Amino acid sequence: MGISDRLLGKKNVNGKPHIETVMPAAALPGGEVRIIGSGLKPPELRRPRVQFGNVEGAVVIAADDFVIARVPDGAVTGPVVVATNGSVSNGHEVQVAVPIAENLHPVANPALDAEGNIYVTFSGSRGQKVPVSIYKIDTNYQVKPFLSDMMNATAVAFDRAGQLYVSSRHDGTVYKVAPNGTMSSYAEGMGVATGIAFDRQENLYVGDRTGTIFKISRDRQIYVYATLEASVSAYHLAFSPAGVLHVAGPTTSSYDAVYSVDSQGTVSVFYRGLGRPQGLAFDVDGNLYVAASLGGKRGIVRVTPDHKASLVVSGQGLVGLAFAPGRSAILATQSAVHHLSWGIQGKALLD
């Protein structure tokens, strides 16, 4: 029996609407949350009002024991309340991500350097030459062009020394990019190069969209590490705290998997049941976070080490995320970057 079922018939506190919980507890503007409680719908054929702080959200569905509401533009982290017949419910906090940069085109996770600066791509369509390939967003959220000479910049990652690496799905090359924006080829012949990630020994792994995971040693020896089904968009890579590679690569299925790949390159299903899974990140407790759809709802899905999945951030168009200092996260959609104060400690990428 779910929370909603248990609340059926529960008397309202002083006849007022009452909120029991909000699921998920975090969202981007435009994301939908499910408010669960009692007395949430007026007896007349009218919808309740839902306020996110001082901003009213659109009500999508309303019933006595739950309301689905869309987080409005301009909402900030704070209490959400439901108003019916002049009565206002108790408040329940919702974490709302704040947009920090727009008019971008990420197709994978953003990356952060040691100082907390954010690097994000304007990838463009396949073969499209764009004026700026990578933007740098400083800790004051000032957005500046960083790299202009790369076609279809796809995934970005830092090594332990703070050196930036970028894959190009246009020419199948992974580039090293110096702090002044000068780039040089690091590895070529990577097929349709998409996701990249470093292991603890600083070997670089590259996802080829046509179905291969390459391993590049520090002396630039290239190996075929694993083979998966071809992806319709990209492979996305992340290492767990235990050092196990995890891979997402959306296919034409609506019931896709995140895979784990052991040290011998053996592939197994870590979790199946996601729609278009993309960027991946781990917290220090080994929970996996993936930009995906779960049960038809888009956002950030958390998959626990024992393979239990739940939607923890609601938001449309999400393609990736990166944990940031202060128990926060940077969330990337297809056109923008958001900051979320989340209370979750991310795993250091090379731990």
Judge if 49 and 121 occupy the same domain: no
Query: In which domain, by residue range, is 223 found?
Result: 99-341
- How many angstroms separate the CA atoms of 346 and 24, rounded? 19
Residue that is last in its domain, among 78, 96, 114: 96
Sheet with strand 111-112: strands edge to edge: 111-112, 118-121, 134-137, 143-147
Judge if 222 and 303 occupy the same domain: yes
Residue 246 pLDDT more than 60? yes
Residue that is last in its domain, among 44, 61, 96: 96
Judge if 211 and 80 occupy the same domain: no
Q: What is the CATH number of the domain that holds 43?
A: 2.60.40.10
Judge if 149 and 250 occupy the same domain: yes
Judge if 247 and 195 occupy the same domain: yes
Q: How much is the pTM?
A: 0.93
Residue 348: predicted pLDDT: 80
Higher pLDDT, 196 or 46: 196
Judge if 333 and 189 occupy the same domain: yes
Judge if 150 and 213 occupy the same domain: yes
The reply to whether 348 falls in a domain is no
**Model confidence band, residue 126 (pLDDT cutoffs 50, 70, 90):** confident
The reply to whether 191 falls in a domain is yes
Q: What is the CATH number of the domain that holds 237?
A: 2.120.10.30
For 128-177, what is each residue's pLDDT tens digit? 889 999 999 999 999 999 999 899 999 999 999 999 999 999 999 999 99
Average pLDDT along the chain? 93
The reply to whether 29 falls in a domain is yes
Residue that is last in its domain, among 96, 123, 140: 96
For 214-236, what is each residue's pLDDT tens digit? 999 999 999 999 999 999 888 99
Residue 186 pLDDT more than 80? yes
Residue 44: predicted pLDDT: 75
Judge if 60 and 204 occupy the same domain: no
Residue 350 pLDDT more than 70? no
Neighbours of 73 (CB within 10 A): 10
- How many angstroms separate the CA atoms of 52 and 96, rounded? 9
Total domains present in the chain: 2
